A and B are shown apart, each in its own frame.
Chain A
Amino acid sequence: MTHITEEDLVLLYYDEPGVRPDVRQHLQECGECSAAAQKLARELSVWNEWTVPEADPELGRSVWAAIAPRLEVSAPLSRRFRWLKFAGALTVMATLLITAFVAGRASRHSRPSLTAGLSKQARERILAISLADHLDRAEMLLTEISNATESDAAEVSDDRGRAQDLVEEGRLMRQTLAREGDSSTLALLDEVERFMLEVANSQEKLTPVEMRQLRERIGSGSLLFKVRIIESNLRNEGQKL
């Protein structure tokens, strides 16, 4: 067999499963690969020299003392209940904000609008925060689907309504972004919409294969990761403006 790839050497070093038995066998027999494995181990062992300062033995207690006054008084709600409680309100708010934003731009030369008194900066802030909230809701659904097992197919089917809401909300945002010329966020919203459409239009009961395909779609394009990054950037942008 040909020599072991660097990727397999890394997997062997970390003792990850999935390395073929013949690769392990080759490592025993090939001096060149054995030397390469030793070199990799030597180089990676340098990283072990970077030590972590020993945490304060009372760290747990001091963390609790710092955060306890900041915890919400009410009990954390289960995800589904929280969604039901807030989704409607958030969607209405986001729609109002976006509508106000669009109206503000469209009516510069006509009658006064909801945003007539707002500066350009304030409107941009509204847009950034509304987009971040939209992506936060998309992230929640993507995470649930991503973590779902095949036996959760029925539960994901229940999420079709949420996906449809996200599609509708996203369309309004995409129109605004298209006017603003923000192509990178627009491209992400397009990608999110395609995924949400697929969920919204799925059958009442997803098959295990369909579930797997949905999860693969999230992973193959790192959709969840991109959503998180853009959401965080928008959130920071909104706070800065």
Chain B
Amino acid sequence: MDAGDDIATNDIQINSARRGDRDAFRVLVERHAKAVFRLAYRMTANEIDAEDMVQETFLKAWKQIGKFDGRASFATWLHRICANCSLDLIRARKRKQDLYPRADNDDEQDPFARLPSGSPSPERLAQSSQISAILIPALNELSEMERTAFVMRHYEGLGIEEISVALGVQTGAAKHSVFRAVQKLRRALEPVMSANR
């Protein structure tokens, strides 16, 4: 099946799902789940949370599919829903941290504590633990919009125009968010980069 066929069948499934066809929606879930998982993982930095966000995203997508008008691609539309679900989760986490601050800095001392508890392979943990311990706190310092825009641009390869559609903001605001995110992340990593020179 070539790309054109793929888009056409996607459109058929979307139209059927809009009319309440659950089977058509199931096909869309199976087709897009992995891409949604990737975004959710980048947003939440946790495998189990990411899987939860995939479910939330598709539940919301079913409820709102009547609003989908095809101006953005279905994948971009799902990205938008997933980003919003993930941001809700991040906000809830922050509130919990504010209410119940930890007595020590266990997370900072133990990089494994920040890693997904459901990671299947120890080798992968060993490879990514150090980098995650440095990158995730830097990502956490970004504003919600900066974090979302950066993840969509850097990891998902969405253009600034698509990001602006996904976030419901003007292109200039999306561009500025990507730029500010990069600036902040460069500053945050400066000590590490200098030490490795």
Contact = CB atoms under 8 A, between A and B. Distances in A.
Contacts of A229: 144
Given A44-B182, A63-B55, A236-B92, A224 B169 contact: yes
B41 A52 contact: yes
A233 B145 CA distance: 16
Interface residues of B, number: 74
B20 A75 contact: yes
Contacts of A144: 67
Given A64-B26, A64-B30, A74 B135 contact: no
A76 B20 contact: yes
A7 B167 CA distance: 20
Chain A interface secondary structure, helix, strand, loop or mixed?
Answer: helix
27 contacts: A7-B179, A16-B159, A16-B160, A49-B131, A50-B128, A50-B136, A51-B124, A52-B41, A53-B41, A53-B116, A60-B30, A60-B34, A70-B59, A71-B22, A75-B20, A76-B18, A76-B66, A79-B66, A143-B168, A146-B168, A219-B164, A219-B172, A225-B145, A225-B167, A225-B169, A233-B91, A236-B92
Interface of A: 6-7, 10-11, 14, 16-17, 40, 42-44, 46-47, 49-53, 55, 59-61, 63-64, 66-68, 70-72, 74-79, 81-82, 140, 142-144, 146-147, 149, 215-216, 218-220, 222, 224-225, 228-229, 232-233, 236
Interface of B: 17-22, 25-26, 29-34, 37-38, 41-42, 47, 51, 54-55, 58-59, 62-67, 69, 71-72, 84, 87-88, 91-92, 95, 116, 118-120, 124, 127-128, 131-132, 135-136, 144-145, 153-155, 159-160, 164-165, 167-170, 172-173, 175, 178-179, 182-183, 185-186, 189, 193
